[in-house]
Amino acid sequence: MSASAVIHSPAQRRRCPPLPLSLEPNNSKLQLAQQQQQQHGHHAQQQPRQSMLIEDEVHGVIELPSHIQEIVKHPLFQRLKHVKQLGLIPWAIDKKADHTRYDHCLGAYKSSQDHLRAIERNSHYEPKLPDWCRQAVEIAALLHDIGHGPMSHAWELATHHEFDHEENAMACVDTIFQDALNPELVFLRDDGGGRGVQLIKALILGCSETLPFPMLGHTYIFDIVHNRRCGLDVDKWDYLRRDNNRLQILNSAEMDFDDVFLQARISPDGQRIEYRYADYHRVYRLFEARSLLPIKGYQ
């Protein structure tokens, strides 16, 4: 079974106080979430079914709203189910490392939500991030690896780097939005001369200077998906955890860097994300993990 498997499509939920959950030992996080939704079911029987729950081996339950579902169901995204995250490693070194770019992209999407909520909670920054920018960040995280070829980076080596996955991603993003039917995706495509899609593509590339419009105090979002400034981004946050979850090379202490993202804040001028000095050792662990995993697990 894939690490990320579509399990259930619940009705859209109302905001309700938390309900008690069963503590049966065999209940997964997904089953607990389903219990909540079943208890709320009588409130939503007449409403269209819009949400989807996915169980992920790193994040537990990931909820996908309808506009994200449309992207995930697109053939270009479904193709990622057949693109191995670690290229040839499942066949050459460790068959357990057979997770896919599909799994990682969903994980990066969830990580972007967690990171955004954390920095907003920690900084109380004004002005608030507009909804269309928030959606652009989440979609950029979801689609950041959409352009990868077969066997991931191994394909780039095979083509002598004539194939560039980020350049290919730009074409894939255009195709997905050309095919879009969901009103929220259509808005991102058509409003303001397509500024939503322009922002998504710029976030994937990590290049704010490619935008034809100013970010007006929200340039910090370019540190979330592809952080060219210091390399701390949700792409690394997810793939390091996901790769190590399969390879089991580093222990929990060596993987203790979640607070780098969960305790960060927005700078007072809104130009960047700031990280706590108290977490410098966690930053070191993250980059050490990035160095050790290839040495111990990929080679």
Same domain, 8 and 145: no
Same domain, 47 and 192: no
Same domain, 22 and 72: no
Same domain, 180 and 59: no
The residue among 40, 64, 88 that closes a domain is: 64
Same domain, 38 and 89: no
Cα 19 from Cα 28, distance rounded (Å) = 16
Domain count, the chain: 2
Cα 258 from Cα 242, distance rounded (Å) = 13
3-state secondary structure the chain: CCCEEEEECCCCCCCCCCCCCCCCCCCCHHHHHHHHHHHCHHHCCCCCCCCEEEEECCCEEEEECHHHHHHHHCHHHHHHHHCECCCCHHHHCCCCCCCEHHHHHHHHHHHHHHHHHHHHHHHCCCCCCCHHHHHHHHHHHHHCCCCCCCCCHHHHHHCCCCCCHHHHHHHHHHHHHHCCCCHHHHHHHHHHHCHHHHHHHHHHHCCHHHCCCCCCCCHHHHHCCCCCCCCCCHHHHHHHHHHHHHHCCCCCCCCCCCHHHHCCEECCCCCCEECCHHHHHHHHHHHHHHHHHHHHHHC
Same domain, 188 and 207: yes
Same domain, 56 and 194: no
Structural domain range at position 223: 65-298
Cα 247 from Cα 181, distance rounded (Å) = 39
pLDDT of residue 215: 93
pLDDT of residue 86: 74
Determine how many CB atoms are found less than 10 A away from the CB of residue 54.
Answer: 23
CB hemisphere CA count around 66 (13 angstroms)? 13
Report which residue type is found at 198: Q
Both tokens of residue 90? 């499942």
Percent of the chain whose pLDDT exceeds 70: 75
pLDDT of residue 148: 81
**List of the chain residues with pLDDT < 50:** 1-4, 7-27, 40-47, 91-92, 155, 160
User: Which residue, among 268, 174, 260, 277, has the nearest Cα to 224 in the 3D structure?
Assistant: 260
Same domain, 48 and 127: no
Cα 79 from Cα 68, distance rounded (Å) = 16
Same domain, 99 and 50: no
Cα 262 from Cα 66, distance rounded (Å) = 27
Same domain, 141 and 270: yes
The residue among 41, 64, 87 that closes a domain is: 64
**Whole-structure pTM value:** 0.81
Same domain, 127 and 241: yes
**CATH number, position 272:** 1.10.3210.10
Same domain, 30 and 105: no
